[in-house]
Amino acid sequence: MFSRRIFLSGALMAGAMALSSTAVTADEYIGGWQKDYPLIKYGIIPVETQTQTTSSMDDFLAHAEKETGVKWKLFQASNYSGVMNAMIANQIDLAWLSGKSYCQTWEDSKGMVEPLVAAQELDGSMGYVSVLVVKTDSPYKSAEDLKGKTVARTDPLSGSGYIVPTIEFKKKGTPIDQYFKSPLSGGHPQSVMGVLRGTYDGAFTWTSKNDNIGNIRKMIDKGLLKRDQIRVVWTSKPLPSPPIVIRKDLPLAMRVDLAKMFVRLKDHNMKLAEAIAQGKTNGLVPVYHENYALFCEAAKAASAAKKRKRTKKN
C-alpha cells in the first residue's frame, strides 16, 4: 500500500509527523480537518462538453466523499483563467491545471499554491507533448507546409496549445502569428473539431505516448474523434504532466490526506484514476514545484513583462 513517505519530504514530512503523537500507518488518513472544511470544491477545465465532463466526474465525486467524509463540488470554467482566478480568490480548494497555468497561478498568488499529483504513463514515465494536427486527407505533411495557413492555438494559459508552440516557432526565426494565421479556438476539443470541420487547416493540442492521456485520447473515448481522421505533423519535446494543484493555506493534514486519496485511486478503481488523468494512466503520483521549472520561468518572465508595461504607462 502507498506510503506517505513517497510524497512528503522536508518540512512537509516533519509537519505531518508532528500532527499526531502516534504514527499514522500507510492505510490511514490523518483526518481532523473535516469540521472546518465540510465542502471541497474541485476545479477542472472540460476536455469534452460540460454535460459529459460532469457525468464522467460523478463516480469520482462519490468516491471522494466516501473517502474524505465531506461533500465535494465540481467547479467548471471554459478556460484556464476561470479556474486560476477562482483558486486565487479561495473560491475553490484544488484544481486540475496545465503546467503553465499552475505556474502562473503560483506567480500571481505569490506562491500560495502547490502541485499535488499528476498522471503517470502506462510504462511509468511522466509527461506529454504538444502536437500540431491536420486532417489525414489534407495535403499538409509538415509544419512548413502550413506556413500562411490557418492554424489554431487554444488559450494563452495552455502550455501545449499556446505557450510551447509559440516559443518553439519563435526559435525558428518567425513569430507564430506571422508564420501562420493563428486564431484562438478557446479550447483543445474546439481546436480539433475545427480541423475536422475545415475551419482550421491545423491546430495545436496535447497528447502522450500512444495517445494514452490528453485531448486526443479523451475525444476518441467520447466518440468525438476517430484516430485515423487526424495526422500529427509536428511534436514538441516532452512536457511535465498537468498537475492537480492545491492551495497551501489549507491544513497540512488535509493536503496530505487528499494526496493519498488521489494516489490510491488506481487501487480502488482504475476508471476513476483515468477520469482524473483524462486518459489511460498507470495512476496518479506525487509531483513538486521543481518539476515545472520551465513553465514557471515563463510565468515569471510574463509577469515581469506586464509590470514593465504598466510602469511605462505610468
Q: Look at strands 39-44 and 94-96 and give their pairing.
A: parallel
Last residue of a domain, one of 235, 251, 271: 235
Pair (172, 211) in one structural domain: yes
311: in domain = no
- Which of the two residues, 5 and 168, has the higher pLDDT score? 168
Question: DSSP string spanning 95-109?
Answer: EE--HHHHHHHHHHT
Three-state DSSP string of the chain? CCCHHHCCCHHHHHHHHHCCCCCCCCCCCCCCCCCCCCEEEEEECCCCCHHHHHHHHHHHHHHHHHHHCCEEEEEECCCHHHHHHHHHCCCCCEEECCHHHHHHHHHHCCCCEEEEEEEECCCCCECEEEEEEEECCCCCCCCHHHCCCEEEECCCCCHHHHHHHHHHHHHCCCCHHHHCECCECCCHHHHHHHHHHCCCCEEEEEECHHHCECHHHHHHHCCCCCHHHEEEEEECCCECCCEEEEECCCCHHHHHHHHHHHHCHHHHCHHHHHHHHCECCCEEEECCHHHHHHHHHHHHHHHHHHHHHHHHHC
Pair (12, 68) in one structural domain: yes
Pair (66, 176) in one structural domain: no
- Cβ 276 vs Cβ 263: under 8 Å: no
Pair (111, 188) in one structural domain: no
Position 10 pLDDT exceeds 50: no
Pair (14, 108) in one structural domain: yes
Last residue of a domain, one of 176, 204, 235: 235
Pair (230, 250) in one structural domain: no
Quick one: what percent of the chain has pLDDT higher than 70? 86
268: in domain = yes
The CATH number covering residue 95 comes to 3.40.190.10
Pair (88, 136) in one structural domain: no
Pair (134, 189) in one structural domain: yes
308: in domain = no
Which amino acid belongs to residue 102?
Answer: Y
224: in domain = yes
| DSSP H or E stretch at residue 252 | helix 252-263
* Residue count (the chain): 314
Mean pLDDT for 302-311 is 72
pLDDT value at position 300? 83
Encode pLDDT of 110-156 as tens digits. 999 999 999 999 988 888 999 999 999 999 999 999 999 999 999 88
Q: 144 is in which domain, residue-wise?
A: 129-235
Q: How many distinct structural domains can be found in the chain?
A: 2
Pair (223, 246) in one structural domain: no
Encode pLDDT of 32-47 as tens digits. 999 999 999 999 986 5
Pair (115, 86) in one structural domain: yes
Q: How confident is the model at residue 7 (pLDDT cuts 50, 70, 90)?
A: very low
309: in domain = no
Last residue of a domain, one of 219, 235, 251: 235
307: in domain = no
Position 24 pLDDT exceeds 60: no
Pair (74, 112) in one structural domain: yes
Taking all residues of the chain, what is their mean pLDDT, rounded to a whole number? 87
184: in domain = yes
310: in domain = no
Mean pLDDT for 263-279 is 91
Pair (140, 221) in one structural domain: yes
**E-only strand ranges, 24-137:** 39-44, 71-76, 94-96, 113-120, 129-135
